[in-house]
Structure 1
Amino acid sequence: MSPFGALREQLLDAAAAFAGEPDTLAGILSGLVDDVDRALSEELEIFPVCHHSPASALAMVRRLREKQPKVIYLELCEDLRPLLDELRNCRLPVALQAFATDVDGFPASWEPLSVVAPITEASAEYQAISYALETPGVELVLVDRSSDHVFQWLPREPAEAKQGGEDAGLHGDAVGVEIGDLRPRFAELEEHLLHHGKVRHWSEWWDQYVEQPLTGADYESYRQVMVLIGSLFRRLRPEGDQRTDRDEDRERHMWTRMREHLAATGADPAECLYVCGAFHAASRVEQFGLASDAPFEISPRTATRWLYGLIPSSNSAIEAQFGLASGSISIAAATWEKALQRGNVKPFQIAGQKAGKKKASKKPVAPAAPGPVTDRLSGFLAKPPVLDGLDEAELLGWSVDIVRLARRNGYQSSTADAIAVFETAILLAGLRNRGRPTPYDFQDAAVTCIEKDTVPGRRDVRRLCEILLGGDRIGQVGYHAMPPLAQDVFDRLEPLGLDLSKRTVQRALMDLRADPDLVPCSDLLWILHHLLPDDAVRPIMGARRLGERSIQESWDLTIGKHQRSIIELGYEGVTVEQVLEQRLRRRVHDPKTTAADALAAVEDSILYLRSRRFTDELGARAVELLAAERSVDDAPEVLRRIRRLLAHYRSTEPELPAWCEAFVTAGFAHYCTLLPTAFVDEATGVRQVSAMLGFLFTMESLALALGCERAQLEIAVRQSHPEQPAKVALVWAAQYLLGTLPLAELRARCDELLDNPLVVPAFPEYMSGFAQAMEPAPALASFVVELMSKAFGRLPDSVLLPWLPGLITTLREQAGEMVPVLVREAGRTFPGALSALDQWTPPWSPKAATSVAAVPVPAGPVTDLLSGHPAATDAMAALLGCDGGWQQPADGPSPGEAGALLARHPETATAVSELLVHA
């Protein structure tokens, strides 16, 4: 006969009395009793738990001391077992982590894969782990599916693999794994429980209706109630829930692993304990129990290479990742400490984890023999809850402390507020049918009585209550539990003389000239700044750029706060240099990488790694990517980076690397081929075409020296026939640079544009094209200033005023970086004082040429020297776009532009002459 027969009859009678059609309700209620009976009758003792539950932890401590099992089966990923031994080097809370960067067998969008299992002191599994690690002869076996199977059993949607979310705090996007996830799986049931329980969230409901009643309950009552709750949530789960199959597969996996272990070791089931969530304790799969022989095939793991380690966790990170109310973990920790003192219970503690705590007693005690299962549920459910008396000293202490803390954070609180908080907490507890105010009642009372319309500081009253009750405790991974890379980072930064384990911001000041021993620290910090989040290693003073090295640096370091990021770097390599090299190599070989990205990787390699072999490898990849590109979208970035790299190599090395020469020749041929198409393609912007011309003309001399043909560039420009005004201006500028369009003809074409009223509205686009043309032809700056001045001088106000906003917008959007060049050129062209403006004549005006012609060229050695050797001056004049010949005698024809140029600037020619005479 089942010991729960009487309870089953009572529940069936209740179903008949309260439901018109009791079949469904009767099936559910009788099924609850069947699940409890099945779980407690199992030969292998099942210990149901809820994660971060002080009641579960207390029951675990008592049961372990009474039973003293030899084998503990724990619901935790089986491949995390080696990490448990490293807990003695950490400060809780921490999280066990499995991490994979290179996935094989999973969607690429899931990368990287991360699984975390947080551990807190006020949890039943930590007490079981501590008992197993500190008690000789006890074996701890993890039986849940592996980290690889966690993702194998997920649907192939990326969103499912990232259920941690961005708000998961220190855990990031990791998939959380916890023991005893006791929470309703659909909103209707949870809303119903919260409404009738007169509470705001699930954590408060659990504390009032489960946690507090079970804290002082005996072991059998605890087990039966926990299995009953797990069965209730399991049977009320909606049909078609996607998690149903995964949960049942986990249960099949765990029972299969336990039977395999018992068969392999011959352990006595009476000396074993199975610790799992209450939800899984009420399992109904066919593999349940040691007597079952139902097979279950466990699929092999994928080829994904998993790495394991410990990362710091915190109360807020656990709450965020698993959807708990803010402050619930801190309240659970406070409840745990108080229950230990009230019950005079000594918890298990891993040796070396915390100084000053006594280890649990290990005196041999005769194991308790398992007794027959008796019905404790009937009495527990029928008996009204025992209302704890008001602990006035505790509540009064909370009220006084919260007022003191509120004052420190800017609140105008007083002793009257402390009294109000005290009385309001008692009132709220009475309204919620509680004999003793809980921390949740105290929180609500403090918010009601202290918090006004505004929050004067960074923390509101609810946050202050959490701090008062224990705060957001943050764990830390000890030095010996870190991977080799993290240990290497701490060792190499030791000369700074800072305690890098602190979570506060620390300032590192380095004078690299006075103390050269700090140069390796500087190199390491720049690499960490490149690899870690921005606020982990932040430079305040100093820079690391090509051709630039700081002699003094200042850094703000929060390495202790970002311990997790450094630990995860250890999953990728042994040193940070190796990690950086691997990341750069992966970056340049990514299918979406462009030539500009590869050049950026080359620059990073030069700055941080200083490995010529590796840099040449990345450069060769950049050449391949440039030759394979069919788009010129990244031409401006390519031009900017290759210019900087060429300038660096020319200033530091006797010759250019082979990959640089290959990049120039490949780029010259590549852009010459794409230039005609880019000019007519509407999707290609003016900036991209300007960058192509900038590459071709600035790299022309080097490309020709390396074997390229100038005819290829001439043909490409000749084949370009754009229609957009800005690109037409670029073609004219390219023809001017090639010498096929003289400056006089270019000036005449632009004058025709200004004289044509149909073209005037589009003239800003021409101006934008000429401004962009200063990229390949900086000498055009004076011409652009001339062109813009003519536009302002010739156009009437009726045309100029509507035209001006368009000009400004076009220049800002398409040639913003060229506007400062134009401003400087205008400053050199226009007079510097307002008084000189009336007498000023533009240098491009015909009047200026006439006035210059009236000034005779002074006779002397300058004239003789230049007239005796006119070839050099003629070549310079042609290069500057000056037409005409030399100045003739007064009775001869008018002077040309070369003569006018000499007449305007005689000082320069005189100085050159004197240098040549003295030489």
Structure 2
Amino acid sequence: MTGATRVPAAAGAQAPFEALRGRLQQAAAAFADGPGALEGILRGIVDDVDRAVREPLEIFPVCHHSPASAIAMARRLREKQPKVVYLELCEDMAPLLPELRNCRLPVAVQAFASEVDGFPAEWAPLSVVAPITEASAEYQAIAYALETPGVELVLVDRSSDHVFQWQPGGRPAGPADADPDQPPAEEEAALHGDAVGIEVGDLRPRFAELEEYLLRHGRVRHWSEWWHQYVELPLGDSDHDTYRQVMLLIGSLFRRLAPGDADRVGVDEDRERYMWTRMREHLAATGTDPADCLYVCGAFHAASRVAEFGVHGSDTFTIGPRSASTWQYGLIPSSHAAIEAQFGLAPGSVSIAATQWAKNVKRSRVRPFRLAGQAGTKAPAKTAKSAKAAAAPAPAPAAPGAAPPDRLSGFLQRPPVLDALDEAELLGWSVDIVRAARRAGYLASTADAIAVFETSILLAGMRDRARPTPYDFQDAAITCIEKDAVPGRRDVRRLVEIMMGGDRIGQVGYDALPPLARDVHDRLAPLGLKLQQRGVQRALLDLASQPELKPCSDVLWMLRYLMPPGTARPIMGERRLGEQPIQESWDVALGTHQRALIELGYEGVSIEQVLEQRLRRAAYGPQATTATVLQAVEDATLYLRSRRLADELGTRALEVLATERTVDGAPEVLRRVRRLLAYYRTSEPVLPAWIESFVKTGYAHYCTLLPTAFTDEDATVRQVAAMLGFLFSMEGLALSLGCDRTQLELAVAQSHPDEPARVALLWSAQLHLGRLSRAELRARCGQLLGNPLVVPAYPRYLSGFLHALEPVPQLADFVVELVSNAFAVLPDPVLLPWLPTLIGTLRAGGAELAPLLIREAGRIFPGRLAALDTWVPPWLAEPAPALAAAPGAAGQQGAALLAAHPATCDALARLLGCDGGWAQAGPAAGGAVLAARHPATATALAALLDG
């Protein structure tokens, strides 16, 4: 690291911190048995404070969301009234700050890049947020600069692009990279999404052992409680010099005791060089006197030791160019929970800080700065004391090189002030938490309120505090009220947080929204909903009687497609190709998902434009498949009603199909092509050229892949059945377009599967093509059922036949016959172990085809139980295959029998229309002729007479 350059004291004057240096040297010698590393650290801390307070450009160290920092900032701004405020915030976010007037805090300033150039593609989208609350020093500085004429606000921190350029080893971890074992964050805690958080005043020990030591000896649970107890409360009423020196001391301590992570140290120092370089550039360009400026930064950076520090620092740092990524900027809603989750703060700490801020404002009589028209805030009344303080002239600036007196010595030597117990406040807390607990389902009573009151005092006393803090009260409430289980949605810890101020959620006003979001609000205005309001609202659309609401329906369907689940959820009504809705009912939560709507505005100026971009991106992406492109075609037709875009994407689907070498998406391709064909046949006079080419190409494509797919282990039976379904259902159209049926017949003939389900599928295909009769198929299945070695595999054959209903739906009655025969023939010892396998196979392999099977079974089987005893299955009522054979010996026996009984033969001949046969040829010849004409009847009659 670059060493510090000490500014010498004025001639004849003693340095203000010499006495403190001497005492720290003595302490180091006493505790460390002689001067050494400890002395160097302690003296270095004092040197850092001395250097910062002597800087001609006043440095104001802050901690993010610290009420003490906010009060000190408001007080100092009214005293000093600087003409230029330098703020540690990404410099490219400056144009957005005036829009804070149209928002309700807390909100976050966001930089967003959906398409990156110069960064790895897997980083996209890039997002940086800087949350702002009312109880923060940066908001006081922003409000002062924007509301005071003649004051310039200059953001001096690195740009959003540099935030990612300077990340060591890759993209920084965000909320999306959290521990997967942790429970998912609540909706309010996820308002920032996966954005990288930027905060002014990141002040926390980076040395784990130091933080553990402070927590253990401070008798606190987490860092937020330590800061509240040992920094916030003591500095809440301190003067300006004491506040600055103490914050500089803490920043220097944490900086010098930080672990030697070269990458992180390098980024911190580069940020400091960047900021001081920007400030010197501005001073040189404007000629502003440094005494009229104020530099607001985190205490960690205020104690910097880089060579570029100060207005007289070196100018050796070169700021690199930004990448070619296109950045969009906007304001998104934030919340206390989102800030706590993103920056690792204890739950409820930001809410407690907001409560402490309100107390500090009331106690100190400091009039904070607020933006005019700020939603959700009310400017405090201007008392006589505050008006007098505001009208007082600013003190004369200190001479360059001069420093304020030493306030650290007195602060470090002063014993902690023990605030007296405020019984009224604690009693109010105790009563309120019991009331809230009862509403949440706890069996709390007055005795619990008394117990919470006494336990709070007890815990505070054990922790050397006379006055219980909100954290002591929270622990006491959990101990006394929360028993074995939480009866409702919220535990006692959450109830205390709500009681102390709750998770305040910000809102971006209409005027600060991007054009797309304002357009959505305008187009949904006829619904009469409060779209800015959080929560779910019900919208009823009677499109038959109010056709003017159809554009609202279109917007809601597009929002459902583009926005996160729950933004627009249809309760009644659906959108399908070729159908016109009559009534719709929606649950709309646009205010709850305002961040997603704002980020949608970064992609375009209208939702139609964004939807078209998304569809093109899905169709032309490197992972695009034929099924995904066809889905894009359907969505373009369904939501945009764009024939131009649908034709373009359909041509793209044809290109993707020609390059595919697998059949993974065949079921989805078949389903979507069938749906698109049905739509175009009913709504268009002729089919689009692309879909005709798609059917023609698909027919040849799947014929080519069919023999391989039958034997490929990676291809499932459902995928092969989908291929056959495409070939059989599109055959008529394909042949009319010039395809050759011989190609399909050859593909089936070249298929030789071994797996039972695929064998059954092949038999079904052969039946459809006429290469196999149903009688022959029945005989093959009968042989399977009669072979004990094949019976265990019979369910897999059934699975194949069930999938065959996709390409050959007329086989439904035959599948019912196969299942019925199995239940009729197999004995219980074989059937019962086999039955679970059959049910599992049917459920896993063809759940969507089961309704077709059930309908066919309902048609075949009798509807009443009484009719079952006399019912004969249709397949048993059919004649046996042997009866249809040509007459042989049985036929000759029938002819002889007819000749032996001429009277019977004549009667039968008259019934069959064969009069006069005996006269010409004689009885024997006539019987032979008759038997030849009706062999089945002759054989049956012979069998009957022989019996």
One fold, TM greater than 0.5? yes
The runs of 5 or more residues in structure 1 that have no matched partner are: 854-858, 865-887, 900-919
Query: Following superposition of structure 1 onto structure 2, how do residues 464-543 of structure 1 map, counting pairs within 5 Å?
Result: 464-543=495-574
Which residue in 1 is equivalent to 2:278?
257
* Alpha-carbon spacing, 1:164–1:382, altered in 2? closer, same or farther (3 Å): farther
Looking at structure 2, the residues matched to 846 and 396 of structure 1 have their Cα atoms a distance apart, in angstroms, of: 90
**Equivalent position to 1:574, from 574, 599, 605:** 605
**Equivalent position to 2:441, from 405, 410, 415:** 410
SS in 2 for 1:302: coil
Looking at structure 2, the residues matched to 221 and 59 of structure 1 have their Cα atoms a distance apart, in angstroms, of: 10
> 1:89 and 2:102 equivalent?
yes
Looking at structure 2, the residues matched to 697 and 241 of structure 1 have their Cα atoms a distance apart, in angstroms, of: 67
> 1:77 and 2:90 equivalent?
yes
C-alpha displacement of 1:663: 1.2
Looking at structure 1, the residues matched to 931 and 172 of structure 2 have their Cα atoms a distance apart, in angstroms, of: 88
- Write the deviation string for residues 63-111 of structure 1: whole angstroms up to 9, x where unpaired: 1111111111100000000010100111111000001111111111111
Looking at structure 2, the residues matched to 563 and 156 of structure 1 have their Cα atoms a distance apart, in angstroms, of: 33
C-alpha displacement of 1:561: 1.2
C-alpha displacement of 1:847: 6.9
Looking at structure 2, the residues matched to 334 and 805 of structure 1 have their Cα atoms a distance apart, in angstroms, of: 64
> 1:221 and 2:252 equivalent?
no
Looking at structure 2, the residues matched to 368 and 624 of structure 1 have their Cα atoms a distance apart, in angstroms, of: 76
SS in 2 for 1:548: coil
Looking at structure 2, the residues matched to 298 and 540 of structure 1 have their Cα atoms a distance apart, in angstroms, of: 55
**Equivalent position to 1:53, from 66, 69, 73:** 66
User: Amino acid of the residue matched to residue 668 of structure 1?
Assistant: Y
User: Amino acid of the residue matched to residue 99 of structure 1?
Assistant: F
Does structure 2 retain, via aligned residues, the 8 Å contact 1:351–1:359?
Answer: no
User: Amino acid of the residue matched to residue 753 of structure 1?
Assistant: L
**Equivalent position to 1:419, from 439, 450, 465:** 450
* Alpha-carbon spacing, 1:160–1:462, altered in 2? closer, same or farther (3 Å): closer
Looking at structure 2, the residues matched to 409 and 746 of structure 1 have their Cα atoms a distance apart, in angstroms, of: 68
Identify which range, 348-357 or 143-152, moves more after superposition. Answer: 348-357
Looking at structure 2, the residues matched to 894 and 250 of structure 1 have their Cα atoms a distance apart, in angstroms, of: 103
C-alpha displacement of 1:437: 1.8
Larger Rg: 2
Which residue in 2 is equivalent to 1:675?
706
**Equivalent position to 1:698, from 729, 732, 747:** 729
Identify which range, 326-335 or 163-172, moves more after superposition. Answer: 163-172
Which residue in 2 is equivalent to 1:137?
150
**Equivalent position to 2:164, from 148, 151, 160:** 151
Does structure 1 retain, via aligned residues, the 8 Å contact 2:222–2:346?
Answer: yes
C-alpha displacement of 1:276: 0.3
Which residue in 1 is equivalent to 2:687?
656
SS in 2 for 1:311: strand
Does structure 2 retain, via aligned residues, the 8 Å contact 1:349–1:359?
Answer: no
Which residue in 2 is equivalent to 1:718?
749
Looking at structure 1, the residues matched to 766 and 177 of structure 2 have their Cα atoms a distance apart, in angstroms, of: 59
* Alpha-carbon spacing, 1:831–1:221, altered in 2? closer, same or farther (3 Å): same
Does structure 2 retain, via aligned residues, the 8 Å contact 1:676–1:716?
Answer: yes
Looking at structure 2, the residues matched to 21 and 765 of structure 1 have their Cα atoms a distance apart, in angstroms, of: 86
SS in 1 for 2:874: coil
Does structure 2 retain, via aligned residues, the 8 Å contact 1:540–1:556?
Answer: yes
User: Amino acid of the residue matched to residue 311 of structure 1?
Assistant: I
Looking at structure 1, the residues matched to 27 and 773 of structure 2 have their Cα atoms a distance apart, in angstroms, of: 104
Which residue in 2 is equivalent to 1:805?
836
C-alpha displacement of 1:557: 1.3
Identify which range, 9-18 or 208-217, moves more after superposition. Answer: 9-18
Does structure 1 retain, via aligned residues, the 8 Å contact 2:172–2:196?
Answer: no
Which residue in 2 is equivalent to 1:288?
309
Which residue in 2 is equivalent to 1:903?
none
> 1:348 and 2:369 equivalent?
yes
Which residue in 2 is equivalent to 1:736?
767
- Write the deviation string for residues 130-165 of structure 1: whole angstroms up to 9, x where unpaired: 000000111100000000111111135356366775
Looking at structure 2, the residues matched to 186 and 260 of structure 1 have their Cα atoms a distance apart, in angstroms, of: 35
* Alpha-carbon spacing, 1:390–1:359, altered in 2? closer, same or farther (3 Å): closer
User: Amino acid of the residue matched to residue 295 of structure 2?
Assistant: Y
- Write the deviation string for residues 624-645 of structure 1: whole angstroms up to 9, x where unpaired: 1111111101111111111111
- Write the deviation string for residues 708-734 of structure 1: whole angstroms up to 9, x where unpaired: 111111111111111111111112211
Which residue in 2 is equivalent to 1:832?
863
Which residue in 1 is equivalent to 2:397?
369
User: Amino acid of the residue matched to residue 343 of structure 1?
Assistant: S
User: Amino acid of the residue matched to residue 71 of structure 2?
Assistant: L
Query: Following superposition of structure 1 onto structure 2, how do residues 5-154 of structure 1 map, counting pairs within 5 Å?
Result: 5-20=18-33, 22-154=35-167
C-alpha displacement of 1:415: 3.0
User: Amino acid of the residue matched to residue 461 of structure 2?
Assistant: G
- Write the deviation string for residues 759-789 of structure 1: whole angstroms up to 9, x where unpaired: 2222222221111111111111122222233
**Equivalent position to 1:237, from 258, 273, 281:** 258
Identify which range, 762-771 or 510-519, moves more after superposition. Answer: 762-771
Which residue in 1 is equivalent to 2:327?
306
C-alpha displacement of 1:543: 1.0
* Alpha-carbon spacing, 1:261–1:73, altered in 2? closer, same or farther (3 Å): same
Which residue in 1 is equivalent to 2:340?
319
Looking at structure 2, the residues matched to 852 and 22 of structure 1 have their Cα atoms a distance apart, in angstroms, of: 117
Looking at structure 2, the residues matched to 159 and 380 of structure 1 have their Cα atoms a distance apart, in angstroms, of: 38
Percent of aligned positions that are identical: 69
User: Amino acid of the residue matched to residue 47 of structure 2?
Assistant: D
User: Amino acid of the residue matched to residue 372 of structure 2?
Assistant: A
> 1:207 and 2:248 equivalent?
no
Does structure 1 retain, via aligned residues, the 8 Å contact 2:883–2:936?
Answer: no
SS in 2 for 1:353: coil
Which residue in 2 is equivalent to 1:902?
none
Does structure 2 retain, via aligned residues, the 8 Å contact 1:77–1:146?
Answer: yes
> 1:756 and 2:778 equivalent?
no
Alignment coverage as a number of residue pairs: 866
Query: Following superposition of structure 1 onto structure 2, how do residues 542-691 of structure 1 map, counting pairs within 5 Å?
Result: 542-691=573-722
C-alpha displacement of 1:749: 2.3
Does structure 1 retain, via aligned residues, the 8 Å contact 2:83–2:293?
Answer: yes
**Equivalent position to 2:934, from 867, 880, 893:** 893
User: Amino acid of the residue matched to residue 84 of structure 1?
Assistant: L
SS in 1 for 2:330: strand
Looking at structure 1, the residues matched to 482 and 784 of structure 2 have their Cα atoms a distance apart, in angstroms, of: 71
Does structure 1 retain, via aligned residues, the 8 Å contact 2:767–2:773?
Answer: yes
Looking at structure 2, the residues matched to 820 and 623 of structure 1 have their Cα atoms a distance apart, in angstroms, of: 33
Looking at structure 2, the residues matched to 207 and 847 of structure 1 have their Cα atoms a distance apart, in angstroms, of: 91
* Alpha-carbon spacing, 1:806–1:401, altered in 2? closer, same or farther (3 Å): closer
* Alpha-carbon spacing, 1:722–1:366, altered in 2? closer, same or farther (3 Å): same
SS in 1 for 2:754: coil
Which residue in 1 is equivalent to 2:379?
357
C-alpha displacement of 1:665: 1.1
User: Amino acid of the residue matched to residue 487 of structure 2?
Assistant: P
SS in 2 for 1:96: strand
Does structure 2 retain, via aligned residues, the 8 Å contact 1:110–1:162?
Answer: no
Looking at structure 2, the residues matched to 164 and 68 of structure 1 have their Cα atoms a distance apart, in angstroms, of: 43
- Write the deviation string for residues 253-287 of structure 1: whole angstroms up to 9, x where unpaired: 11111111111111110101110000001111121
- Write the deviation string for residues 118-140 of structure 1: whole angstroms up to 9, x where unpaired: 00001111000000000011110
Looking at structure 1, the residues matched to 393 and 544 of structure 2 have their Cα atoms a distance apart, in angstroms, of: 67
**TM-score of the two chains, using structure 1 as the length reference:** 0.91
Looking at structure 1, the residues matched to 394 and 762 of structure 2 have their Cα atoms a distance apart, in angstroms, of: 97
C-alpha displacement of 1:800: 2.8
Query: Following superposition of structure 1 onto structure 2, how do residues 753-832 of structure 1 map, counting pairs within 5 Å?
Result: 753-832=784-863
C-alpha displacement of 1:392: 2.5
* Alpha-carbon spacing, 1:619–1:412, altered in 2? closer, same or farther (3 Å): same
